[in-house]
Amino acid sequence: QKEVEQDPGPLSVPEGAIVSLNCTYSNSAFQYFMWYRQYSRKGPELLMYTYSSGNKEDGRFTAQVDKSSKYISLFIRDSQPSDSATYLCAMIAGNNRKLIWGLGTSLAVNP
Amino acid sequence: EAGVTQSPTHLIKTRGQQATLRCSPISGHTSVYWYQQALGLGLQFLLWYDEGEERNRGNFPPRFSGRQFPNYSSELNVNALELEDSALYLCASNTGTAYGYTFGSGTRLTVV
């Protein structure tokens, strides 16, 4: 079993839809949870990070962490064609700086 | 502010050769991280450098090595290249926190 599981999709939605992206994990020591967006031929770009459990909102994006269920989510409201990309979750335990990644979910937002 | 820059963008090598990849972090960032992104395997942690020292290493053989220079730039060396080393190699930097990594666009290494 991989430490972090993420459905690779692809996910295709119409413009304006609410998108829900999820990851599950098995290591209860994970403390920081991050969401990155990666466009084709580019490096990942940090969207949001959350420490421990709870919600965090930034514009159209909301990140949720449920440590009791070992489940994290990213919600995108009013999705735009420019949101079309691969979304990766990443987690880290302690201070070893070793990010553990999901495989990424490919999202297409259709105009 | 300039981002993380990596060179070269693309690199084609023959099996058994050596590859050298370079990374310049964001100004003021002292930590540099290397990741391998291979098809179907996702991003895998390779190395973490801080203040010129190797601080942590992922589950890769010793032929993957690197260093960090006094100006905080970094170099990744891959010796005795194998076909399965073909991947996108990403460099990231930050100020020394456990989160908030800024990535470069990567070096696409192809081993033939």
Positions of E strands within chain B: 5-7, 10-13, 19-24, 31-38, 42-50, 53-57, 64-68, 74-78, 87-94, 102-103, 107-111
List residues of chain B with CB under 8 Å from any CB of chain A: 4, 31, 33, 35, 40, 42-45, 48, 55-56, 58, 90, 92, 98-106
Q: Specify the pLDDT at position B29.
A: 92
User: Chain A partners of B31 at a C-beta cutoff of 8 Å?
Assistant: 97
Average pLDDT of span B31-50: 93
The answer, yes or no, to whether residue B39 has pLDDT greater than 90, is no
The answer, yes or no, to whether residue A9 has pLDDT greater than 90, is no
Could you give the C-alpha distances from B59 to A10, A27, A30, B31, in angstroms and in order? Answer: 29, 18, 19, 19
Task: In whole angstroms, give the CA distance from residue B36 to residue B13.
Answer: 16
Average pLDDT of span B91-100: 84
pLDDT for A26-41, tens place per residue?
Answer: 999 999 999 999 999 8
Q: Specify the pLDDT at position B2.
A: 77
pLDDT for B43-81, tens place per residue?
Answer: 999 999 999 999 999 999 999 999 999 999 999 999 999
Give the CA-trace dihedral at A59, A63, A64, A67, to 10 degrees: -150
CB within 8 Å: A97 and B90: no
Could you give the C-alpha distances from B35 to A55, A58, A76, B106, in angstroms and in order? Answer: 28, 27, 27, 9
Average pLDDT of span A89-94: 90
